[in-house]
């Protein structure tokens, strides 16, 4: 989609093929494009022309993209130019380094030019709308969880003591509220609090953006420091993954069997098992049960798996 205004993109890469690939993609999409084969040339171009977005390789001979970013952020005339890193380095600490330096995004090579164009357009529109509203520059942080997983993203925000709302949009939508780097609240469409947080920490296919500033209503506060919450969540996510082979598909209706009804009525079943058996006297899917109760998802899944294996619950025949 062509932009409805004509920003200028500076593409910096010592690899001629990559430089021309990115240049042609932006030019075909209707942008003005200038290029540089190294940081020295890029700095010269920046003194000659107004630039709206910089797309730069992170690792180059001589001065590299990291140093270019540092130079920009130290210059009052150029510090507000958004920058996107391209890099063959896929390790999380490289991505975190770019975001800490103030980059708006980080894409790993090989990358899709279509994805690069979409991300660039979103960044430019945020900056333009912010300027039109008379806002001072805000520290936007946006991307996709395939490049920066939610746990790493929250660690970055915690380390920097950020206050604001992290918004996630994938198959579901959710938000995580932070106050001075501490996780204060979490919400998805189906649940909230610690349960919602643990779910979102496992989302691997979602866009994210962080809105700094007011956190709004955080609901019931989430107790515990960020590192402990992340550790507990990773354990729960791993346990849930191991349970998957013992569970029916999440959308398959389950119903209580005769044996299950007797178990529930006897009062001998554990509290959570009895609660689940009572709930499925009318068929419910595993997804229904996960959303219905406040217990952690992994505890519900473990109980359902046991009830299915012992014959107390059974899938409803089609």
134, 153, 152: which is closest to 142 by C-alpha?
A: 153
What pLDDT is stored for residue 60 in this prediction?
A: 87
**Which residues, at least 6 apart from 298, have a Cβ–Cβ distance to it below 8 Å?**
236, 239, 240, 243
Q: Quick one: average pLDDT of 73-78?
A: 83
**Buried-state track 50-68, b at ≥16 Cβ within 10 A, e below 16:** ebbbbbbbbebeeebbbeb
Q: 305 pLDDT band (50/70/90 cuts)? A: very high
The answer to whether the CB of 166 falls within 8 A of the CB of 144 is no
In order of 126, 199, 218, 236, the CA distances from 174 in angstroms are 20, 10, 13, 19
Q: What is the pLDDT of residues 198-248, one digit of tens each?
A: 999 999 999 998 888 878 788 778 988 888 888 899 899 999 999 999 999
What pLDDT is stored for residue 132 in this prediction?
A: 43
CB atoms within 10 A of CB 74: 9
Q: What is the pLDDT of residues 236-284, one digit of tens each?
A: 999 999 999 999 998 999 999 988 888 878 877 788 998 999 998 899 9
What structural domains does the chain harbor? 1-138 (3.40.50.2300), 139-245 (no CATH), 247-315 (no CATH)
Global pTM?
A: 0.59
What pLDDT is stored for residue 110 in this prediction?
A: 83
| Residue 3 in this model has a pLDDT that exceeds 60 | no
Angle 55-58-59 (CA atoms, 0-180°, nearest 5)? 135
- Hunting for tokens 């609901």 — which residue is that? 219
Entry field: residues in the chain: 318
Q: Cα separation of 121 and 143, whole Å?
A: 12
Q: Say which residue, 158 or 92, is predicted with more confidence.
A: 158
Handedness of CA 28, 29, 33, 38 (dihedral sign): negative
Q: Quick one: average pLDDT of 28-34?
A: 94
Three-state DSSP state, 175: strand
Q: Cα separation of 246 and 200, whole Å?
A: 23
DSSP conformation class of 310: T
Q: Say which residue, 149 or 24, is predicted with more confidence.
A: 24
Ranges assigned E (strand) in the chain:
8-12, 32-36, 53-57, 83-87, 105-108, 141-144, 164-169, 173-179, 182-188, 207-212, 253-256, 284-285, 313-315
Q: 108 pLDDT band (50/70/90 cuts)? A: confident
């Amino acid at each position: 989609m062509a932009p409805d205004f004509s920003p200028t993109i500076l593409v910096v890469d010592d690899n001629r093929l990559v430089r021309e690939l990115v240049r042609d993609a932006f030019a075909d999409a209707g942008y003005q494009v200038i290029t540089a084969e190294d940081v020295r040339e890029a700095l010269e171009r920046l003194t000659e022309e107004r630039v709206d977005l910089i797309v730069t390789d992170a690792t180059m001979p001589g001065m590299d993209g990291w140093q270019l970013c540092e130079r920009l952020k130290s210059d009052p005339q150029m510090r507000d130019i958004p920058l996107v890193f391209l890099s063959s380095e896929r390790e999380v600490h490289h991505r975190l380094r770019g975001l800490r330096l103030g980059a708006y995004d980080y894409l790993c090579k090989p990358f899709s030019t279509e994805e690069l164009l979409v991300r660039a357009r979103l960044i430019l529109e945020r900056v333009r709308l912010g300027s039109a509203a008379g806002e001072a520059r805000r520290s936007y942080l946006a991307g996709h969880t395939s490049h920066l997983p939610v746990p790493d993203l929250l660690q970055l925000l915690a380390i920097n003591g950020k206050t604001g709302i992290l918004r996630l949009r994938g198959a579901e939508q959710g938000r995580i509220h932070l106050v001075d780097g501490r996780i204060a609240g979490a919400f998805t469409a189906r649940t909230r609090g610690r349960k919602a947080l643990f779910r979102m920490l496992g989302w691997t296919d979602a866009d994210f953006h962080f809105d700094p500033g007011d956190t709004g209503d955080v609901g019931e506060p989430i107790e515990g420091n960020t590192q402990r919450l992340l550790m507990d969540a990773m354990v729960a996510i791993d346990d849930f993954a191991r349970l998957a082979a013992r569970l029916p598909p999440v959308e398959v209706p389950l119903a209580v069997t005769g044996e299950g009804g007797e178990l529930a009525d006897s009062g001998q079943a554990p509290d959570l098992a009895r609660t689940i058996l009572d709930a499925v006297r009318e068929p419910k899917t595993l997804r229904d049960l996960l959303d219905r109760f406040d217990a952690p998802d992994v505890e519900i899944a473990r109980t359902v798996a046991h009830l299915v294996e012992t014959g107390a619950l059974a899938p409803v025949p089609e």
